Amino acid sequence: MQNYLTDDRAHLDRILETVLAEARNFLLGLDNRPVGTVVPSSLDLINIPMDGLGAGRALEIFKERYEPWLSGSAGPRYFGFVTGGVTPAALAGDWLTSLYDQNALGSTESIAPQIELDTIALLRQLFDLPDQFTGAFVTGATMSNFVGLALGRQWIGRQHGVDFAQIGLSHNAPVRIFSGTPHSSIYKAAAMLGIGREAVTNISCLPEREAVDMTALEAALQSQNGQPCIVVANAGTVNTVDFDDLQAIARLKSRYEFWLHIDAAFGGFAACSSKYRHWVQGLAMADSLTVDAHKWLNVPYDAAMQFTSHLQLQAEVFQNAAAYLGTEVSHSNFVNLTPENSRRLRALPAWFTLMAYGTHGYTEIVERNCDLAHWLGQKIGASKAFALLSPVRLNGVCFTLAMRGNSPTMNDIQRYLKLLRNSGRVFLTPTVFKGIPAMRVSVTNWRTTQADIEVAWVAIQQTAKRTHA
């Protein structure tokens, strides 16, 4: 064994203690860490050390070369994208995932696949989904949408008597996708699946809304003349956190042939609160359903769930035909159900956080985050410096700069957001809503408190003064 391997193996305690000290420092400083850093534009070339350096020295170099430029995105005032943090229990689960290094592909030598099944069961209860939904962990909502659309594609083939997974896409059976305000990852998934981005047709939305206009959706379905298609319903859009009328869409299934995929990447968590549950009535009517974990569940990145009530179709698409892997279709034979073959025990952080904080823990996080978004929305709405572009429905605030009657340009927004980020206190991301350059706040982190939102509001106002000056 190489010297450093021997040495590190003998002194594993020391390495773990160094990492623990680093973890302590990082977590203690997280609330005050700058939300975004200005990363050096070019790092000098790095060379692989011939004889290695050992884990201790590698850690030192890491700390010098990269650590100061890590963002506080896991902290309480990072409101960009839809970014959650990591609960203490989720962190424990994530560390243990690496420690145990189990392959959760579904073979029988480890209980790992059962842990994943148990976690899916916990999540089914959290979101009040019926038992016929099976599920699996994938790396993010994009991959969950990918799986959902892959199932929709396979289902369309089946309506035409064609097994797409077996013979490839057939020209005679076009796959079309209708959606009001699909997330960009729907186009990406369509591209990866050979369905094509152009197969996604945007249906008009209600005035001033990102929720689909049911009359327009029905007209699109009618124009299919009985040809099966996919409808992507959106439960929580990233700009204004708007929701399609899921129940009304599901009711259309009695008259039109379509696969219903629901993208509830973060909006699905509305189910955790009796105040907001009405937004996701009908979630259980999905043929396939996306819910992210590294957003509102507050587990570390690479985790989302995909749910479906069509396990057999899933196995048709993702079957990994190899004698030594087996061909059994079961809920826990993940190698035959997901894009990956070998896969980490991605469910463990979710298992830990769900067991640690329970249903009410998530109700509290969701309601607190939403209260804070409403508080900020009210302040912004009442301020002359800003214009609120949409009512606050859940945990998002979409607004823009009020500029003497004119809309700001995207340059104005970018300049404002750069100044705001450089304040170190709050991070937002830009967007365009109904043609208006704008920005958005997403409150998704378990750490965020009233004190944080007040600090953010001060920074948001001060930055507006500086921009207008």
Ligand X SMILES: *Cc1c(COP(=O)(O)O)cnc(C)c1O
Asked if 240 touches ligand X (CB under 6 A), the answer is: no
Q: Which of residues 53-82 bind ligand X (CB under 6 A)?
A: 82
Place of tokens 């009304």: 248
Q: Kindly give the interhelix angle for 3-10 and 12-29, rounded to the nearest 10 degrees.
A: 70
Q: Which is nearer to ligand X, 112 or 147 (CB)?
A: 147
Burial of 367 (C-beta count, 10 Å sphere; 0-12/13-18/19+): middle
Sheet containing 396-401: order of strands:
386-388, 396-401, 436-442, 429-433
d(CA 60, CA 440): 37
Asked if 102 touches ligand X (CB under 6 A), the answer is: no
Task: Determine which residue in the list 140, 157, 377, 437 makes contact with ligand X, applying CB under 6 A.
Answer: 140
d(CA 375, CA 352): 31
Counting Cα atoms < 13 Å in the Cβ hemisphere of 345 gives 27
d(CA 97, CA 359): 23
Q: Are 465 and 118 in contact (CB under 8 A)?
A: no
Site string for ligand X, 292-311 (x = CB under 6 A): x-----------x-------
Name the segment binding ligand X (CB under 6 A); options: 261-269, 306-314, 322-330, 426-434. 261-269
Minimum distance of ligand X from residue 266's CB (angstroms): 5
Residue 339, amino acid: P
Q: Which is nearer to ligand X, 189 or 459 (CB)?
A: 189
Minimum distance of ligand X from residue 73's CB (angstroms): 13
Q: Which of residues 183-202 bind ligand X (CB under 6 A)?
A: 183, 185
**Strand pairing of 134-138 and 258-263?**
unpaired
Asked if 84 touches ligand X (CB under 6 A), the answer is: no
User: What is the separation, in whole angstroms, between the first and last Cα of the chain?
Assistant: 65
Residue 443, token pair as written in the block: 């409150």
Tell me, by CB under 6 A, how many residues bind ligand X. 14
**Strand pairing of 200-202 and 229-234?**
unpaired
Minimum distance of ligand X from residue 306's CB (angstroms): 11
Task: Determine which residue in the list 83, 102, 119, 142 makes contact with ligand X, applying CB under 6 A.
Answer: 142
Q: CA dihedral defined by 332, 338, 343, 344, rounded to 10 degrees?
A: -70
Asked if 141 touches ligand X (CB under 6 A), the answer is: yes
Minimum distance of ligand X from residue 267's CB (angstroms): 7
* Helix intervals (H) in 254-339: 311-318
Asked if 374 touches ligand X (CB under 6 A), the answer is: no
d(CA 115, CA 111): 6
Residue 147, token pair as written in the block: 């799986």
Minimum distance of ligand X from residue 301's CB (angstroms): 8
Name the segment binding ligand X (CB under 6 A); options: 20-28, 99-107, 134-142, 149-157. 134-142
Q: Which is nearer to ligand X, 259 or 386 (CB)?
A: 259
Q: Which of residues 220-239 bind ligand X (CB under 6 A)?
A: 236, 238
CA-wise closest residue to 342 among 105, 100, 111, 117: 105
Minimum distance of ligand X from residue 441's CB (angstroms): 14
Q: Which is nearer to ligand X, 193 or 304 (CB)?
A: 304
Minimum distance of ligand X from residue 293's CB (angstroms): 9
Minimum distance of ligand X from residue 142's CB (angstroms): 3
Name the segment binding ligand X (CB under 6 A); options: 26-34, 135-143, 222-230, 245-253. 135-143
Minimum distance of ligand X from residue 115's CB (angstroms): 22
Asked if 423 touches ligand X (CB under 6 A), the answer is: no
Minimum distance of ligand X from residue 431's CB (angstroms): 12
d(CA 188, CA 142): 8
Q: With H, G, I as helix, E, B as strand and everything else as coil, classify residue 387.
A: strand
Point out which residues bind ligand X (CB under 6 A).
Answer: 82, 140-142, 145, 183, 185, 236, 238, 263, 265-266, 292, 304
